A and B are shown apart, each in its own frame.
Chain A
Amino acid sequence: MNYTFQFGVAFDVLPQLLEGAVLTFQMGVVTFAGGSILGLFFAALKTYGNRPLRGLAQAYVVFFTNTPALIQIYFLYFGLPEFGILWDNFVCVMIGLILNSGAYLTEIMRAGFLSVRATEMEAAEALGFNRLQQIRHVIVPHIAKTIYPALANFFIVILVMGTSIGAVVGVDELTGQAINLSTENYRWLEMFTVAAGLYVILTLVASIALALFGRWAFRVKAKVF
């Protein structure tokens, strides 16, 4: 191999790559939060809704899990302008990612809904909780604990695989920033090696933080390493 790595170049642009990493992290958090709200809503429809509502939730899940996130984002970015709706690239990516992850999170959350014991619900009802209060005080804390490991895993998926799609429509998150810098300095290999390293650091930090938070908040017996 004749290639000579010149990481000096990478260190020069490290601040820009770090900026990208911060944006990646922010996009991951917002996507996860938005997707979780959608997921909770559609999982509730699928579990407690009548036939048409269950059908609606099912259609949402099938549509968004059976088509690539990239196509969904292209549709918003290149398709909607044909109908006179012009959103900027960042908005398109975020809406696309939230809709896409919401569909996966619906199925994760639904597993949580199904694991709530009927007897706890009855106790709550007898104590005077209405349906919304049951969801808030009994179901959500219960499923948060039960499906926490699955949720934490999915957050990592969003963080690494989800957000990097933004690069394709010019969002300057970590992957996008690495592409931008490479086209300027032609040090593709260095840029992407450092970017990959930053992704590893991001996911490690996130995994440890999530495991510690899970232990503290939900008594989840998660291993930190």
Chain B
Amino acid sequence: MPHLDIIDLNASYGSVGVLKGVNLSVERGEVVSLVGPSGSGKSTLLRVLVGLTPPSGGRIVVDGTTIDYRSKSSLKAARDRMAIVFQQYNLFQNMDVMRNVTIAPVQIKGRQRAEVEADATKILARMGLADKHHSYPDQLSGGQQQRVALARALALKPEILLLDEVTSALDPELVNEVLDAIRALAAEGMTMLIVSHEMAFVKEVSSKVVMMDKGQVVEAGPPREIIDAPKTDRAKEFFGKILRH
């Protein structure tokens, strides 16, 4: 049984269809990368998964359970299992690092503060932020902020981590510190769905690459096949363009 199964998923912004029948399945512990041009629906797919954009058709099944995005309790259950990290980090500016990481587990899930803080301390140490507990987002670099955002997502103990272009807003020098953190998570067997334009990273870390265009999956398979030897014309054109850089 796939960990995450996306079946014939549709979504639209107003009358504009953004996802047009997306099919995709992710096995437990698998790292799947979504690639494709801007506007192909990669980010929207992640947004639909965590309930920020409502689906207009199709099904999303997590571990055998179909999520009903119109039901608050079902959506809550989905958000318990999946956590998203955004391109622009989206940290709470008025809270320090520790509070950013602990607020959801404490306030939303009602876990004991002491226990959550102990967890958060471990997670932050892994993210290389052990000395930043009491810093505020505006005192951190982009790479540090993005690692706080990763820590905030991990503090919820998600089964599936969704990463939406998490390095796109960073200085080139800061990209690697975030990628290293993601590599470590992948090595531990976290199921991940990654939207990224870092092709070298995608190739290295993914077990499967999914090329999307115009709201549909064009081609999917192991990174070597998809990136180095695409079969469809659209994928050939896309990878031909970006790899020439």
- B residues within 8 Å of A by Cβ? 50-52, 72, 76, 79-80, 83-84, 86, 88, 90-95, 103-104, 107-109, 136, 152, 156
Contacts and interface: CB of A to CB of B under 8 A. Distances in A.
Given A128-B76, A128-B80, A123 B108 contact: no
B107 A137 contact: yes
Contact of A219 (B104, B109, B136): B136
Q: A-B pairs with the 8 shortest C-beta distances?
A: A123-B90, A127-B104, A119-B90, A128-B79, A128-B108, A126-B50, A141-B94, A126-B84
B152 A127 contact: yes
Contacts of B156: 127-128
A120 B94 CA distance: 10
B19 to A, nearest CB: 18
Interface in A127-162: 127-130, 133, 137-138, 141-142, 145
Contacts, number: 55
A88 interface: no
B94 A125 contact: no
A90 interface: no
Given A127-B156, A128-B79, A218 B94 contact: yes
Contacts of A126: 50-52, 79, 83-84
Nearest to A146: B94
B157 to A, nearest CB: 12
Given A126-B52, A127-B152, A128-B79, A120 B92 contact: yes
Given A128-B108, A145-B94, 14 more contacts: A119-B90, A120-B91, A123-B92, A124-B92, A125-B52, A126-B83, A126-B84, A127-B103, A127-B104, A127-B156, A128-B76, A129-B107, A133-B107, A142-B92
Interface string A65-91: 000000000000000000000000000
30 contacts: A119-B86, A119-B88, A119-B90, A120-B91, A120-B92, A120-B93, A122-B86, A124-B92, A125-B52, A126-B50, A126-B51, A126-B83, A127-B79, A127-B83, A127-B104, A127-B108, A127-B152, A127-B156, A128-B76, A128-B79, A128-B104, A128-B109, A128-B156, A129-B108, A133-B107, A137-B103, A137-B107, A141-B95, A142-B92, A142-B93
Contacts of B92: 120, 123-124, 138, 142
A117 B91 CA distance: 10
B86 A123 contact: yes
